[in-house]
C-alpha cells in the first residue's frame, strides 16, 4: 500500500490541521512525524483564528488523569465539530494504544483511532473514515515502520530530535509504557547518523538523541558500547555544535558513556538521570535494577570527568509501601545529588501495572505533604546551584521563545551548554541575534530555574552568527515572515510549537 498516493486521492482542496500533544519527548517527536505525514498528503496548518478541518490528539497514558483530560478535550470539541460539517478528529499515542475501542465507545464523534506502532497509517485512515462515514480504529501490536523513516515537519530550524530506538525492555512496576510501545527496537547506526547529517545540512546545530532507555541502545545487535560509539560518531559531524540525549537508565549507565561524554566536544555537559526514589526498598519494589549507592556513584564519576555538568532527574513520591523512613532516604539522595532540576510526580496507579494492585497505597494527604517537602528541598538546591554561575560567561544558543515576560523586559532567551535557561538583554547599539545564533554573555542574576544576563557594555556581549540563524531567516522568508529578532511564544530547545497539554 502506498500511503502517500492513497491518502492524497480524495483531497480536492487543502484541508487544515492542528495537533495537540500530551506527554514526553517521544510524543513531541512523533507529532513532528504526524505533521510531516499530513503535509506530505496535502494538509496545511490551521491558522490561529480558524477552525481546523482535522484535530489530532497525540496522547500520553502515564498519568492517572490522562483519560479524563482527553475525554474532556473531546467533549469540548464535539460542539465545534457539530458546527463544522466535514471536520475530523483523530486520537493517537499511548492512550489510544491502551484504550483502543473504548475511545470510540465513549466519544463516538471521533473519526480515527491509531496507535504508537502505525503512525504512518493516519492519512489512509482519515480518508477511509471520510469515504465510509464511520470511525476507523487500527492499532498494531508490533511496529509497522520505524518513526524516523516517515516524513517530518520540524518546527525548529536550529534544533531537532532524532530517535535512536523505540520501546523498552524493562519491567518497572509503575510504568505502562513498555506494554504500549513494545520491546526495544534499535535503528542501525548508519541510519541515525544519516538523519543527523541531514538535519545539519538543513541548518540545525543541535540534536537530541531519543530513546525510552537511550543508553541501552545496541541491545538488538549485541553491542554493549554502541551508544558511546554513537556519541563519539556525532563528534565527527561538521557543523553539529551541540548533542544531547534523553533518557538513560542508571542500571545500564557505563563508564564508556561517561568517557564519550567527556571526550566528545559537542556532547553537552548535561545529564538527565531518573532517580525515581532514594530508598533501596522502594527501588526494589519498583523493579528498578540499581540502588542509591550505584546512582550516586554514577554522578560522582560524571562530575569527576565533567565538573560543570548539570544533572536533572525524575522522582516519584508516594509509591505504594513508601514509609517516612523511605522518603527521608529520598531526601538524603536528593541533597547529595545536587540536581539542577527535578521533575517530581505524585504516584498515581495505572491500570495494567503491577504497582496499581499493590497493598499499602499511600493516602493522598500524606503524598501531598511529602511532595511539598521534596519540592521545597529541590527549589533550595536549584537556587544554590544556579547562584554558582553568577559572574561566569556563558555561550547561549538563542531560541525563539522570549519567555512569558519577554515583551515586558525586552530580554531574549537562550540555552547554556548545560541546558539552563537564560534570559538576556542586548546592550545598546549591539546587533540582535536570530534564533539559532550564539551569544556569549555574563550571568548577572540567578533564580532557581533560570538565569539573567544583562551585559552593561557592548564588550560584554559577543554575537556569533550561525548556519542555524541563516536557516531561520530562510524559513521566515518562506513563510513570509519578517525580522530577525526572536518572537515570543515559539520553539524552545527544539520542542515543536504544538499545543502541549
Most confident segment among 28-32, 445-449, 486-490 = 445-449
Please report which helix (H) or strand (E) contains residue 283, including its range. helix 280-286
In this prediction, residue 2 carries a pLDDT of: 47
**348 band by pLDDT with thresholds 50, 70 and 90:** confident
Q: Which residue has the higher pLDDT, 155 or 429?
A: 429
Confidence check: pLDDT of 98 > 60? yes
Question: Rounded CA gap, 62 and 115, in Å?
Answer: 15
449 vs 175, residue with greater confidence:
449
- Grid cell of 236 as nine digits: 565527527
- Preceding amide of 209 cis, omega within 30: no
Select the more confidently predicted residue: 161 or 431.
431
pLDDT value at 81 more than 70: yes
- Residue 500 pLDDT: 32
Q: What is the pLDDT of residue 147?
A: 58
- What is the enclosing helix (H) or strand (E) of 274? none
pLDDT exceeds cutoff 90 at 7:
no
Architecture of domain 393-500: Beta Barrel (2.40)
H-assigned helices in 309-459: 324-337, 364-387, 406-409
Range 44-62 average pLDDT: 87
pLDDT band at 142; cut points 50, 70, 90: low
- Written as nine digits, the cell of 273 is 538521570
Question: 154-268 has which fold?
Answer: Transcription Regulator spoIIAA (3.30.750)
Q: For residues 343 and 273, is the Cβ–Cβ distance under 8 A?
A: no
| 143 SS3 class | coil
State whether residue 242 is helix, strand or coil: strand
Residues 6+ apart with CB under 8 A from 443: 389, 390, 391, 392, 393, 394, 422, 451, 452, 453
Q: What is the pLDDT of residue 476?
A: 80
What average pLDDT does the segment 202-210 reach? 94
Q: Map out the domains of the chain as residue ranges.
A: 3-138, 154-268, 393-500
Residue 49 pLDDT grade (very low, low, confident, very high; cuts 50, 70, 90): confident
**In this predicted model, what pLDDT tens digit does every residue of 101-141 receive, in sequence order?**
788 899 999 999 988 778 888 888 998 888 888 898 887 76
- The domain defined by 3-138 folds into Rossmann fold (3.40.50)
Question: Confidence band (pLDDT; 50, 70, 90) for 166?
Answer: confident
Q: At residue 488, does pLDDT exceed 60?
A: no
pLDDT of residue 172: 93
Annotated binding site: 24, 60, 94, 168, 172, 175
Distance of CA 3 to the CA centre of its chain: 27
Q: For residue 245, what are the β-bridge partners?
A: 209
Question: Whole-number mean pLDDT of the chain?
Answer: 87
3-class secondary-structure state, position 84:
coil
Residue 428 has pLDDT above 90, yes or no: yes
Q: What are phi and psi of 217, to 5 degrees?
A: -50, 135
For residue range 13-47, list pLDDT tens digits in order.
789 999 998 877 777 878 888 888 898 888 999 98
* Dihedral (Cα; 142, 144, 147, 153), 10-degree rounding: -140
User: What does the pLDDT look like over 224-282, one tens digit per residue?
Assistant: 999 999 999 999 999 999 999 999 999 999 999 999 999 999 999 999 999 999 999 99
**Assigned C-alpha cell, 266:** 559537542
CB 493 within 8 Å of CB 415: yes
Give pLDDT tens digits for 355-386. Answer: 999 999 999 999 999 999 999 999 999 999 99
To the question of pTM greater than 0.85 for the whole model, the response is no
Binding site residue list for [4Fe-4S] cluster: 24, 60, 94, 168, 172, 175
C-alpha dist (Å) from residue 145 to 158, 283, 359, 439: 26, 34, 40, 40
Amino acid at each position: 500500500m502506498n500511503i502517500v498516493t492513497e491518502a492524497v486521492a480524495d483531497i480536492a482542496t487543502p484541508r487544515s490541521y492542528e495537533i495537540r500533544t500530551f506527554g514526553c519527548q517521544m510524543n513531541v517527536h512523533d507529532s513532528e512525524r504526524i505533521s510531516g505525514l499530513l503535509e506530505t498528503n496535502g494538509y496545511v496548518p490551521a491558522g490561529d483564528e480558524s477552525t481546523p478541518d482535522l484535530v489530532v490528539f497525540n496522547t500520553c497514558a502515564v498519568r492517572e488523569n490522562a483519560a479524563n483530560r482527553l475525554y474532556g478535550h473531546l467533549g469540548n470539541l464535539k460542539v465545534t465539530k457539530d458546527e463544522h460539517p466535514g471536520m475530523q478528529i483523530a486520537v493517537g499515542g499511548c492512550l489510544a494504544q491502551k484504550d483502543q475501542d473504548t475511545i470510540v465507545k465513549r466519544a463516538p464523534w471521533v473519526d480515527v483511532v491509531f496507535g504508537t506502532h502505525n503512525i504512518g497509517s493516519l492519512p489512509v485512515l482519515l480518508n477511509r473514515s471520510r469515504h465510509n462515514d464511520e470511525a476507523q480504529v487500527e492499532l498494531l501490536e508490533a511496529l509497522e515502520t520505524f518513526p524516523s523513516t516517515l516524513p517530518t515537519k520540524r518546527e525548529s530550524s536550529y534544533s531537532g530530535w532524532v530517535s535512536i530506538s523505540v520501546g523498552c525492555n524493562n519491567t518497572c512496576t509503575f510504568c505502562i509504557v513498555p506494554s504500549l510501545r513494545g520491546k526495544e527496537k534499535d535503528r542501525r547506526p548508519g541510519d541515525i547518523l544519516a538523519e543527523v547529517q541531514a538535519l545539519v545540512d538543513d541548518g540545525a546545530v543541535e540534536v537530541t538523541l531519543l530513546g525510552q532507555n537511550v543508553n541501552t541502545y545496541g541491545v538488538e545487535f549485541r553491542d554493549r558500547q554502541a551508544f558511546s560509539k554513537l556519541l563519539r560518531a556525532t563528534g565527527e559531524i561538521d557543523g553539529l555544535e551541540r548533542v544531547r540525549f534523553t533518557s538513560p537508565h542508571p542500571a545500564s549507565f557505563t563508564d564508556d558513556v561517561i568517557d564519550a561524554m567527556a571526550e566528545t566536544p559537542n556532547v553537552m555537559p548535561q545529564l538527565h538521570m531518573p532517580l525515581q526514589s532514594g530508598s533501596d526498598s522502594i527501588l526494589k519494589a519498583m523493579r528498578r535494577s540499581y540502588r542509591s549507592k550505584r546512582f550516586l556513584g554514577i554522578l560522582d564519576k560524571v562530575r569527576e570527568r565533567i565538573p560543570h555538568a548539570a544533572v536533572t532527574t525524575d522522582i516519584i513520591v508516594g509509591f505504594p509501601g513508601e514509609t517516612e523512613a523511605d522518603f527521608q532516604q529520598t531526601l538524603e539522595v536528593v541533597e547529595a545529588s545536587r540536581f539542577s532540576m527535578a521533575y517530581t510526580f505524585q504516584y498515581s496507579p495505572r491500570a495494567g501495572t503491577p504497582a496499581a494492585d499493590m497493598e499499602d497505597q499511600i493516602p493522598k494527604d500524606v503524598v501531598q505533604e511529602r511532595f511539598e517537602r521534596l519540592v521545597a528541598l529541590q527549589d533550595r538546591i536549584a537556587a544554590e546551584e544556579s547562584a554558582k554561575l553568577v559572574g561566569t560567561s556563558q555561550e547561549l544558543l538563542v531560541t525563539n521563545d522570549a519567555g512569558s515576560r519577554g515583551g515586558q523586559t525586552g530580554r531574549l532567551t537562550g540555552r547554556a551548554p548545560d541546558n539552563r535557561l537564560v534570559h538576556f538583554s542586548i546592550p545598546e547599539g549591539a546587533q540582535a541575534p536570530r534564533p539559532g545564533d550564539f551569544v556569549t554573555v555574563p550571568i548577572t542574576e540567578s533564580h532557581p530555574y533560570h538565569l539573567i544576563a544583562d551585559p552593561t557594555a557592548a564588550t560584554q556581549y559577543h554575537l556569533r552568527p550561525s548556519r542555524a540563524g541563516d536557516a531561520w531567516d530562510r524559513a521566515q522568508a518562506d513563510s513570509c515572515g519578517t525580522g530577525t529578532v526572536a518572537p515570543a511564544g515559539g520553539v524552545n530547545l527544539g520542542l515543536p510549537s504544538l499545543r502541549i497539554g
